[in-house]
Amino acid sequence: MYTTSKPARSTASWLAGLLALTLVPAQAWCGDFRGYSGTHWQSDFDVRSGHCDRKRITESPRRSDAMASLGQRRALNRNAAVLIGARVPDLLPSNLGVELDEGDRACIGEVLELGASGRWVSWDNDATGMHYRMWPDSGRDGIAGTCRGFHLQAAGNDQHVKRSALACESDPGLWQLSDL
């Protein structure tokens, strides 16, 4: 009968564990990210590194949450923060010829929720040809609740737009424009 020594078994177990880790997708073992509101998120979609991974955010199994009604959104377990509300189209001027889509709103929400104060976060929307950069401030608590001001730059279609706005959190991870 063949037996293995204790060191051989522990080395084999260690190698098997290492192999298993390399086969797990990166997003499956993301950390615990505490957001501005105190909400814990499984992923920051690379926001803390200065880039919003728009592709991963829109591939999220719950990506349609951004389109749900406010009541439905409160009941859902979202994977990302999101910018919501009727005034979202006002963020970009109509002469730009594009609107913020679900992925752009999710990136804005993630920057508000997880972005470091005074640090730019960028992303590209390949469908619209737009490049975005966003810089959140340190935030404040007030009558409207927890709010963060931000600067948004949008470039594409031979145009460049700069906007400053304020968004307040209506529920954990749900940010609404408060002032343009």
The pLDDT value given to residue 20: 41
Cα–Cα dist 36/147, whole Å: 10
pLDDT at 10 over 60: no
pLDDT at 60 over 70: no
- Pick the range with the lowest mean pLDDT from 18-27, 45-54, 86-95: 18-27
| pTM for the whole structure | 0.73
Cα–Cα dist 23/179, whole Å: 46
What type of residue sits at position 33? F
Domain ranges of the chain: 30-179
Cα–Cα dist 157/25, whole Å: 35
Torsion, CA 104, CA 64, CA 34, CA 87, rounded to 10 = 50
Cα–Cα dist 134/127, whole Å: 19
Beta-carbon contacts of 119 under 8 Å, excluding residues fewer than 6 positions away, are 50, 135
Structure tokens given for 24 = 């797990």
Q: Give the pLDDT confidence of 82-93 residue by residue, as tens digits.
A: 988 867 778 888
Confidence of residue 111 (pLDDT cuts 50, 70, 90): very high
Cα–Cα dist 95/89, whole Å: 12
Chain mean pLDDT for the chain: 77
pLDDT at 147 over 80: yes
